[in-house]
Amino acid sequence: MSKFYSVALLLCIGMLASATGNAAEKSFDIAPIADLSSDGFADVAVLPLSEGPKVWLYSSADGSPLGTVSFFARHWMPVALAAFSGGGGEGSVKDSRIALLALNNETGTLSVQVRTAEADGSKVGSNIGFFNSTYQPIDVAVVDDTNGDGISNDPSIAVLAQRYYPWRQAVQLRTLDGQLLGNWTITQPRQQLLSLAGVSMTKGQSRVSALVKGKDDGKARILSVRIADGEALPAIELATGWWQPDALDLSVQRDGDGDGMANDPAYVILVKNQPNGEQSLILKDVGSGSFLGSRQVIDGSWQSESLSVAADLGGDDKEYAFIIASGDSSEELLVNVRELESGNQVANLRPNPIRTIADAFRFLNQATLGATKEEASRVVDMGYEAWIDEQMELPVSLSLPFVYAELQITGDIERTTRTAVWIRNAIHGPDQLRQRVAFALSEIMVVSEVGVLHDWGLGIASYQDMLANNAFGNFRNLMEDVTLHPAMGMYLSMLGNLKPDPEKNIRPDENFARELMQLFTIGLDELNIDGTVKKDAQGHGIPTYTQDIIQGFAHVFTGWYYDKSADEPYPPIHPNNRNRTVPMVLIPERHDTGPKTLLNGVTLPARNDGERDLKDALDNIFQHPNVGPFISTRLIERLVTSNPSPAYVARVARVFNDNGKGIRGDLGAVVKAILLDKEARPGMFSPIDGKLKEPLLRLTQLWRAYGALPTETSNLYRIEKMWEQVGQGPLDAESVFNFFQPNYAPPGEIRDMQLVAPELQIATDYLTTIFTSYLYLQTHDWNTLEPEGYKYPSKIFIDFEEDNALAADPDALIDGIAERLLGGEISATLRSEVRKLIVDIPAEWPESRTSAAIFLIASSPEFAYQY
Amino acid sequence: MSVINRRDFLKAAGAGAALGVSPLAGFGQTVGSAASLSNYRALVCIYLFGGNDSFNMVVPRSVAKYNAYAASRQNLAVPRDSLLRITPLNSDGVNYGLHPALPELRNLFRNGNAAFINNVGTLVQPVTKEKYLDDAVNIPPQLFSHNSQQDQWQTLKGLAVSRTGWGGRIADMFRDDLAGQRFPTNISLHGDQLMLTANATTPYVMGLDGPAKLVAFNGTFRQPQTYYQQQLREAYERVLAGSHKSVYGRAFAESQQRALQSYETIRSAIADAEPVAVQFSSSDLGRQLRTVANLISAREQLQMKRQIFFVGAGGFDTHDYQNEFQPQLYADLSKCLGDFYLALQQLGVADSVTAFTQSDFGRTLTSNGDGTDHGWGGIQVVVGGAVDGSKFFGTYPELSMGGPDEVSGGRLIPTTSADQYVATLSKWLGVPDAGIEQIVPNIGNFAQRDLGFMG
């Protein structure tokens, strides 16, 4: 089946003026294979296109996993698969082979690799190269009877591909040992290539057939080339007239009339019907193109991805259609098997994705403050969704009670203590998903100890707890808790905001009103559901609000102040008031009682009811259609990727708008949709997937990987002036615009492709130098439990003992560290550089070898990004 | 990607600089000997983050004008008798004074080394109040939003989309002329800034006190670099130079490589240069300007001919406690400007270096109780020996509510554009007349390209 555009290839050859994100239109390809499970029925091979060059095998009896087959190296990007007989006889799927077409991400070359269709299947023959690196691969197919003598003893492999300049669409056909049998141009003006099938026919009529779609007329048709003489055969229209279903995939039924003779093949085309989205099969005679019938197969709640027809299953001579479909989530997979003649369903399976430790590790780098190999094993056992459900039930790891208790004893600087408790929760808090989401929220609804809150450690700890408490709650509650938190009140000057005094030209303060809308909820421009900016007739964005509306909200937010009932100081030492940790309260006589202009043409009436004004105003923002796409985009950027496709944003925004139970703003459902989305779960398949990890997250991951402990007995993870030592501290951004801005694009290929990479904004010469130095000290001089450690500004210790035990064997040491820090996936370059470095260090100094290896891996680019 | 070459505008026939492998290759700096910009000149942008309430910086003292000001500003008005008198040489008939916390700036102005640019702000084209209220004219998108207007000041993009800053475009334009420089033309001491972002060159980012210490590879504290650290560094450099599959990994590796490549150059140049003797204030701004002065002192070691520095001062977003904070902000700004000019004089480059302010926007004339909100036009200050000082440029606005430039609670429509301001500075730095539009794309919408404050 066809494949999404190869971003890597396009980048290599520079054919794309602007990348449009990595919207993978297809997620899966399917092929029936030999009956591995011995239940009398063919099993299936599934290619999860977004998870690297690896095929999952399932029993078609119950969908149970039968193992995986890995092809190529990880930097190959899978495109499509096909299965064929390994010689078991006519049309047989016994003893079958899988042919996988893939693109080398580094060189742009295309190859097919053949392996036996069994768990950990072995390689058959050499890789078969097709075309050259200027071609974009579309699909692969097998022709069982290449010469058309009626005996399937001469299989060949066909690849469909296209080149942008000069424009060419073509099929190449090669024998299993790579000999070129044909190289045929099938270019038609302005057509999109969808899929390729091989058709075995008697009397030398075997052919390769491509399913294509005209870009102008939107019509799907089949273009064929006869293998024997390379003759282009007349095109077959999928449908005539106004009814034009979306064609998805093409396969072939050998015996169109069901008489047991494979001399009258039929095309089987998988289509999606609009508007109800039902998916069905259309059967057309290969020779004449005449319509033979259709079969309804899958309802509109699933998206069919791929189709493959196989015969001779269990020796009943019948032919079956295998269809694979996906849901919105990467966890949702449907395999539907139908008897082709009758259309009867024989199996409808919901197999589970087969995941590795490396897959789980990548998931955990999105869902926690740092993946660990121990947690990754649990995720493999549990599955992603069950793990998320478990996490959401865990109690909240709080900051404030510990900061308060500690300050009572030490009277230390609030900021240092507050940060130390944050670090402890980051490393050891069991509620990792909550802590990660709270961290994301702290970078969206920003308050910071830089500036007016410089001595507000208790208030910020309370704000952090408020975010953690709301992480899986409703966004509307979060909005209100943020609005009324005194730390936010002080930071954006709503605290003490007064009603107008016209005689003195005094207007309400607009600061919070503006940033609440611009940064926390709806943004500057009206958005589509997929997060793209709506444009007016002149092509300009449409502002979400005017100055009048800002002023309206500024009037709403008048009259709020510290809760005086909480005015007592924190005893016995600390001077600051508890009122920095409890919601602000309304002082009615300070609240403006006039009418107030809000969004969407709403005006609040004149009244003296500040609490109702506030609730109505927050409701007014909450109901704005921008909130879903705006917050979904921000959270996807913080958790998963800098450049989500519009389709990904739309899928998540719809969950924000309605969690399936009619509730708007369910953040738990939104977080789940973000992490389980098929776009969140790719392997290393596209260079624009994922994002850079900010320094703080790199550090928490390192600490968590080694279960870091404090060097002091106090159980506090102190780093004095963390922003100076590390370059970043939690809730310590430069301004309400966070450490970096969402639209930041570093010069070079990222900007040239019109992509963004917010975290790169703080990868400056200065901050990278600071961070590299800190990593060095954390893995060398400062990493000590010895008494001199007390003098160092960082009091966090990571225990290398387990690694030290491996250090005598450099490769074992590298493997051990790579498992902890990289989920076991380490590049050849990094491995060889680490090896060269540590073999130079005498084996009698295991700690030195370990320090060097951990430093080099933790400071490497591959540790610096997640995908 | 097109890189504008200054020589294209000068129509000079000079040979192109020889490209070679350089420690600066990562910054897009070319290596060669041609340098038609042979004298030294530098711009120092002092960015006042948050939006400076500059109508308290320069205040009319004439009674009627002062009364209008005080009526608008109410409890935020600076008392008339506390103002520091200034007498612009090009008087508009009104007496003016500076905020009492600005004594050093007053002296700079008096001595002819500072000028004020009045009611300057982001514009696409000239705007009248009538047209603004009728929506009958193009204005920069998202007025009153911090980041949008910071971007506007730094890119001057108007209605277009731009991801380069005007300082970055100058560095690109000068690239071939400055091929002998051993360090990037543009340096920020305040993080990555759009103003310095370019297509072909990369600004260098350092901290308040200069580059960070590269402890990992260059010896910890007082210890010298060890053999081990040398090996570690070489291994790290090879890891960075490897191929990386992710665009984020590649960009990360590039930034690390740039930081490593330039490290010794800049550290040794600063170490070799005479440090300035002036005692700067220990504020963030003071530390940055001291570092800039030391970098200027190292200009010959680095063979610099043109430089643009970016320093930043925060805290100007005075929504709250303005009467408490603004005097502190101004006292620091004033002392820093005075110290910096003194340092320039000691270095003998007072005529070659021009410092100037930018800020998100001016602020509302009216109060929100104890502070002000986001406005539009404001006043900027330019300091240096080459400045046509003791003068006002641009019209000082009416500060009364309902005045000809006033809209929406005391926000002032700018009567001079940021484009004109930057075009004047760019010209002084050496951008040819014909190349100004490459730096300031909308300058053609304004009649006067050179405001004259650079003589």
**B317 inside 8 A of chain A by CB:** yes
List Cβ neighbours of A683 (8 Å cut-off, separation of 6 or more): A50, A51, A52, A54, A74, A359
Taking an 8 Å cut-off on Cβ atoms, the answer to whether B235 and A836 are in contact is yes
* pLDDT of amino acid B82: 98
Is there a contact between B235 and A543 if contact means CB atoms under 8 Å apart?
no
Residues of A in contact with B319 (CB under 8 A): 492-493, 509-511
Secondary structure string (H, E, C) spanning A640-707: CCCCCCHHHHHHHHHHHHCCCCCCCCEHHHHHHHHHHEHHHCCCCCCCCCCEECCHHHHHHHHHHHCC
Question: What does the block give as tokens for A228?
Answer: 């024997």
- In sign, the C-alpha dihedral spanning A51, A57, A60, A61 is negative
Distances (CA, A) of A700 to A392, A707, A720: 21, 10, 16
Touching check for A855 and chain B: CB below 8 Å?
A: yes
Residue A692 contacts residue A746 (beta carbons within 8 Å): no
Contact status of A280 with chain B (Cβ, < 8 Å): no
Residue owning tokens 């050998």:
A254
Whether A508 sits inside 8 A of B368 (CB atoms) is: yes
Residue A474: its pLDDT value, please? 98
Cβ-in-10-Å burial (0-12, 13-18, 19+) of A246 comes to middle
- Which of A104-108, A587-591, A654-658, B197-201 shows the lowest per-residue confidence on average (mean pLDDT)? A104-108
Using alpha carbons, list the distances in angstroms from residue A250 to A139, A178, A644, B213: 11, 25, 30, 62
Q: Residue A51 corresponds to which tokens in the numbers above?
A: 């998870």
B128 contacts chain A (CB < 8 A): no
More confident residue, A867 or A422: A422
Peptide bond into A572 cis (omega under 30): yes
Residue pair A255/A261 in contact by the 8 Å Cβ criterion: yes
The phi and psi torsions of B221 (rounded to 5 degrees) equal 55, -120
For residue B327, how many other CB atoms are within 10 A of its CB?
16
Reported as a single tens digit per residue, the pLDDT across A153-164 is 899 999 999 998
Instruction: Check whether A17 has a pLDDT greater than 50.
Output: no
More confident of the two residues A629 and B136: A629
What is the distance in angstroms between the Cα of B58 and the nearest Cα belonging to chain A?
20
Cα-to-chain-centroid distance, residue A234 = 43
Cβ-nearest to A509 among B144, B242, B368: B368
Give the minimum alpha-carbon distance from B116 to chain A in angstroms, rounded to a whole number: 27
Q: Between β-strands A246-253 and A603-604, what pairing exists: parallel, antiparallel or unpaired?
A: unpaired
What is the C-alpha to C-alpha distance for residues A76 and B346, in angstroms, rounded to an integer?
62
Which residues in chain A are closer than 8 Å to B311, comparing Cβ atoms? none
Instruction: For residue A541, list chain B residues with Cβ-Cβ distance below 8 A.
Output: 141
- What six digits make up the tokens of A111? 């190859």
Q: Which residue of B has its CA nearest to A517?
A: B145
Q: Within 13 A of A418's CA, how many CA atoms are on the CB side?
A: 24
**Ramachandran quadrant class, B114 (left: phi over 0; alpha: psi -120 to 50; beta: rest):** beta
Q: How far apart are CA B18 and CA B36, in angstroms?
A: 15
Residue pair A497/A554 in contact (Cβ under 8 Å)? The answer is: yes
Beta bridge partners of B417: B121
pLDDT at A409: 79
Cα of B391 to nearest chain A Cα, Å: 31
Nearest by CB to B251, from A757, A767, A848: name it. Answer: A757
A724-754 residue pLDDT tens: 899 999 999 999 999 999 999 998 999 999 9
Residue B49, SS3 per DSSP: coil
| Nearest chain B CA: its distance from A840 CA (Å) | 9
Distance in angstroms (rounded) separating the CA atoms of residues A337 and A345: 6
CA distance A420 to A413: 11
Hey, CA dihedral for A59, A65, A70, A75, is it positive or negative?
positive
Closest listed residue to residue B115, CA positions, set B332, B405, B310, B379 = B379
- Tell me how far CA of residue B252 lies from CA of A611, A692, A830, B197, B334, in angstroms: 48, 8, 15, 17, 39
B256 CB neighbours in chain A (<8 A) are: 763, 768, 772, 861
Query: Read out DSSP for A40-89?
Result: SS-EEEEEEGGG-SEEEEE-TTT--EEEEEE-S-TTEEEEEEEEEESSSS
pLDDT of residue A255: 80
- CB contacts under 8 A, B 52-71 vs A, are 71
Q: How far is B111 from chain A (nearest CA, A)?
A: 35
pLDDT band at A570 (very low <50, low <70, confident <90, very high): low
Tokens standing for residue A725: 């030592």
**Over the stretch A689-705, which tens digit does the pLDDT of each residue have?**
999 999 999 999 999 99
Its ipTM equals 0.88
Q: Smallest Cα–Cα separation from B355: which of B41, B40, B39, B43?
A: B43
Residue A10's Cβ-side half-sphere holds a number of Cα atoms within 13 Å equal to: 17
Q: A142 φ, ψ to 5°?
A: -115, 140
**Residue ranges of A 672-701 with Cβ closer than 8 A to chain B:** 684, 687-692
pLDDT over threshold 60, residue A20: no
By CB atoms closer than 10 A (0-12, 13-18, 19+), residue A139 is buried
Cβ contact (<8 Å) for B373 and A511? yes
Mutation choice for B interface testing from A765, A777, A851, A860 by most B CBs within 10 A: A765
Position of tokens 């160092």?
A: A792
* DSSP structural state of residue A534: P
A848 contacts in chain B (CB < 8 Å): 228
pLDDT, residue A16, reads 33
Here the tokens at position A518 are 């611009």
* Residues of chain A numbered 753-782 and touching chain B (CB < 8 Å): 753, 755, 757, 759-770, 772-773, 775-777, 780-781
What mean pLDDT comes out for the span A8-19? 34
Task: Quote the mean pLDDT of chain A.
Answer: 90
One-letter identity of residue A689? D
Q: pLDDT at position A90, please? A: 40
pLDDT confidence of residue B222: 57
CB contact under 8 A, B239 and A750: no
CB-CB neighbors (< 8 A) of A773 in chain B: 212-216
Q: Name the token pair of B451.
A: 């405001």
Q: How far apart are CA A658 and CA A648, in angstroms?
A: 16
Q: Is B369 on the interface with A (CB under 8 A)?
A: yes
On the CB side of A155, CA atoms within 13 Å amount to: 21
Structure token digits, residue B294: 């030391």
pLDDT by residue for chain B (455 residues), tens digit each? 445 566 666 543 333 333 334 445 566 655 433 336 889 999 999 999 999 999 999 999 999 999 999 999 999 999 999 999 999 999 999 999 999 999 999 999 999 999 999 999 999 999 999 999 998 899 998 999 999 999 999 999 998 888 899 999 999 999 999 989 999 999 999 999 999 999 999 999 999 999 988 888 876 555 677 889 999 999 999 999 999 989 999 999 999 999 998 888 898 898 899 999 999 999 999 999 999 999 999 999 999 999 999 999 999 999 999 999 999 999 999 999 999 999 999 999 999 999 999 999 999 999 999 999 999 999 999 999 999 999 999 999 999 999 999 998 899 999 999 999 999 999 999 999 999 999 999 999 999 999 999 98
pLDDT at A355 over 90: no
Q: How far is A655 from chain B (nearest CA, A)?
A: 29
Top-confidence residue, A48 or B317: B317
SS3 A171: strand
Summary count for chain B: helices (H), strands (E): 12, 14
Give the closest of B145, B163, B205 to A766, CB-based: B205
Give the pLDDT score at A91: 42
pLDDT of residue B96: 98
CA–CA gap between residue A482 and residue A445 (Å, rounded): 8
Of B239, B246, B314, the CB nearest to A867: B246
Chain A (496-525) residues lying within 8 Å, Cβ to Cβ, of chain B: 496-498, 501, 504-511, 514, 518, 524
What own/partner pairs with CB < 8 Å and gap ≥ 24 does A41-44 have? Answer: A41/A313, A41/A314, A41/A346, A41/A347, A42/A93, A42/A310, A42/A313, A42/A314, A42/A320, A42/A322, A44/A322, A44/A324, A44/A335
Inter-chain CB proximity A770 and B368 less than 8 Å: no
Distance of alpha carbon A399 from its chain centroid, rounded? 30
The pLDDT of residue B18? 37
- Spacing of C-alpha B24 from chain mean position: 24
CA distances from A590 to A511, A555, A595, B298 (A): 17, 11, 15, 57
Q: Considering only CB atoms, which chain B residues are within 8 Å of A642?
A: 248
Do residue A452 and residue B320 have CB atoms under 8 angstroms apart?
Answer: yes
pLDDT: is A52 or A82 the higher one?
A: A82
Residue of chain A with shortest Cα separation from B364: A507
Of B246, B320, B409, the CB nearest to A865: B246
**Neighbouring C-alpha atoms within 13 Å toward the C-beta of A327:** 13
Q: Is the Cβ of A862 closer than 8 Å to some Cβ of chain B?
A: yes
| B223 at A interface, C-beta within 8 A | no
Q: Is the peptide bond before A758 cis (omega within 30 degrees of 0)?
A: no
CB contact under 8 A, A833 and B239: yes
Contact flag B409-A744 (C-beta cutoff 8 Å): no
**Cα separation, B391 vs B113, whole angstroms:** 10
Rounded to the nearest angstrom, the gap between the alpha carbon of residue A592 and the centroid of all alpha carbons in its chain is 46
